Amino acid sequence: MKRLTACLTLRLLLGIGSITAQRLVAAYGSPEAIFDSKIIPEQPPNERLLTLLRKGSKVQKEVQSIEQWIRKEKLRPLLWGTEEYPLALARCPDAPLVLFCRGNLSWESRRWVAVVGTRRPSTYGVESCQALLKELAPFHPVIVSGLAYGVDAVAHKAALKEGMDTVACLAQALALPIYPAPHQGLAEKIRQQGALVSDFIPQQGFERGHFVQRNRLIAGLCQATLVIESGATGGSLITANFASQYDRELFALPGPVHSAKSKGCHSLIQLQQAQLLDSIDIVVETLGWGNTKKTTQQNLPLDLSEAEEKVYLFLLQKGKQDLDFLAKSLALTISETAILLMQLEMKKRYALCLANVLRCVSTQLCFGLLRAPRWLWRVHDRLLWQG
């Protein structure tokens, strides 16, 4: 069975969600191995799951229909566990096994920033969003939003104007007419200078409940989320909460004290859930995008191993990095990279080395994707509480 077929089969089996699917893949080694009767995992799933998996043959007609739809619509399926799958999203415990993409966007080694907010922004909100994205343009991030009215549309248009790639996450399958209908033209421009993305299949139709799932995708794709304007409740706060749950950077634009459109932003700042967004400098500094200083041999400690030196120099030159991107750049496994970072911290030669990726280490440990020895857990906890 091909990987795409296996992923779609899991997607169609009722009772198997994204979290369970990821656990099954971890147990068997790959999606296709799950349906190979010859494979016996170290920790077999329980009887309920085995019963569900045996129903895989009953959904093959639907799977074939979706595969035909992918070919007909010339979509690009991004499969969890492959190199082209977005790294930040892959770390989420509920990441979809299949992401459907329309567009020619390059997904690897990119900077990702989500921009969300109210559907009825004030003039202040619109102008602030445009100004912030203009300041972000020199750093060439991919701007992600939801193609909705208001701040979403402003963010997409500003990104296109400034020459940045932009991604629209949809609350519907790519087979359906674009919602909202007036944004059909904008969607086409985004396809040409970015991508339209969805994890919905045609059989699902369109439901209002899909917006929450869309918001989860926006937060999961990005290293940081900017909330431009938001009332006390709304979809942008749901996206912000997902960003917090995924341990991503969160920023909120303050507004006039008595503005109802900024109550949500003020609440995020007051609860210390988000950093106050008064300029793009705080985003660049927090994400480590401004570190362009060159490191010389004179600054290199003498007691580092060859592997430690490799990590040390890379982080001094490149600044803050995701753990998985760091491992991939250095041709190491995630476990090897995490252990080297811990060793550098214990030698007290480069404390920022671990701080630059500690958040990602924590995420990997909590989701069970990093099989760490007991001593690594102890050091991790000590450093985490020390801040």
Query: What pLDDT was estimated at residue 42?
Result: 61
Give the angle 212-162-325 at the CA atoms, nearest 5°.
60
pLDDT tens for 52-64 read 787 888 889 999 9
Q: Which residues contact 179 (CB under 8 A, 6 or more apart)?
A: 170, 171, 172, 206
Mean pLDDT of the chain: 82
- Say if residue 359's pLDDT is above 60: no
Q: From CA 259, how far away is CA 128, in angstroms rounded?
A: 15
pLDDT band of residue 369 (cuts 50, 70, 90) is very low
**Model pLDDT for residues 301-349, shown as the tens digit of each residue:** 556 788 888 887 887 777 667 777 788 788 888 778 888 887 777 765 4
Outline which parts of the chain fall under CATH 3.40.50.450: 112-287
Q: Is the pLDDT confidence value at 351 over 80?
A: no
Phi, psi of 170, rounded to the nearest 5 degrees: -105, 150
Q: What is the pLDDT of residues 182-218, one digit of tens each?
A: 999 999 999 999 999 999 988 787 777 889 999 999 9
Q: Are 146 and 140 in contact (CB under 8 A)?
A: no
Tens of pLDDT, residue by residue over 23-34, are 888 888 888 888
> Dihedral of CA 76/219/167/175: which sign?
positive
Q: Which one has a higher pLDDT value, 90 or 304?
A: 90
pTM reported for the whole predicted model? 0.76
The domain defined by 112-287 folds into: Rossmann fold (3.40.50)
What number is the average pLDDT over the span 350-360?
Answer: 47
Dump pLDDT digits (tens) for 214-272.
Answer: 999 999 999 999 999 999 988 999 999 999 999 999 999 999 888 999 999 999 999 99
